[in-house]
Amino acid sequence: MNADPKSNGSNDEDLQWLERFKAGNTHAFDFIVRKYQRCLYRIIYNMVSNKEDAADMLQNVFIKAFQSIKQFKGESNFYTWLYRIAINLTLNFIEKNKKRASIALEPLANEEGVAEFLNLDKNAKPGDRALLLKELQEKLNESLQNLSSIHRTVIVLFEIEGLSHKEIAQILHCTEGTVRSRLHYAKEQLKHSLLPYLKDESERI
């Protein structure tokens, strides 16, 4: 089961299962796990860059959610509450371990998404452009590892998960302006790190 937090009725469905859980049906929590485990794993993995750490963190997120779920008052969508737990635990993990694994990150969107992200010339020869996009996708994901954890977070939530500024602000407990500022800074850092490579490739094309 794949989670689409923005789909119609998704939050209402979550609330129905939460009510069953609060009423004593502990198996109702299995629905939450099945629905959100893939997207939460993807978020965590893109932040810690290590499959084993991501799997351990995912388990910790659901344990924390299970223990705290009765505190959820429904003042926000359930998925923002759950994502907030995942983000906070992951940021704490990164801060505690200060480790950067060299494992490749989940691709940022797709190759065309990379082209849009970097505003690449659409008039380049198809074969050359396809090769450039593939190489840039790899370079872009490598550059993500050099961002601070909070800036990587907004990139992951916005570019990979497709969340809005408002949704990210709710998850991170900050203003939409702060989200936009962090996102702009992160994008500029990524583009700056790719400038030498982009220049070399444009000369080749």
Q: Which domains does the chain carry? A: 10-97 (1.10.1740.10), 111-204 (1.10.10.10)
d(CA 96, CA 74): 31
Contacts of 160 (CB under 8 A, 6+ apart): 42, 43, 46, 106, 108, 109
Question: Residue 115 region, left (φ>0) first, then alpha (ψ -120 to 50), else beta?
Answer: alpha
Token pair recorded at residue 152: 């990587």
Q: Give Cα separations from 181 to 72, 160, 163, 177, 184 (angstroms).
A: 29, 18, 16, 6, 5
Q: Are 20 and 14 in contact (CB under 8 A)?
A: no
Model pTM? 0.75
User: What local confidence, expressed as pLDDT, does residue 116 receive?
Assistant: 56
From first to last of its 205 residues, what are the pLDDT tens digits of the chain?
Answer: 555 665 656 788 888 988 898 888 988 899 999 999 999 999 999 888 889 999 999 999 999 999 998 888 888 889 999 999 999 999 999 888 875 544 445 555 444 455 555 555 555 544 454 565 566 667 777 788 888 999 999 999 998 888 999 999 999 999 999 999 999 999 999 888 877 766 655 554 4
d(CA 173, CA 166): 10
User: What local confidence, expressed as pLDDT, does residue 103 receive?
Assistant: 41
Return the half-sphere exposure (C-beta side, CA atoms, 13 A cut-off) of residue 202: 12
Query: Could you count the other beta carbons within 10 Å of the beta carbon of residue 82?
Result: 25
Q: Which residue has the tokens 């909070």?
A: 150
Contacts of 17 (CB under 8 A, 6+ apart): 28, 29, 31, 32
Residue of 197, 50, 45, 34 lying closest to 131 (CA atoms): 197
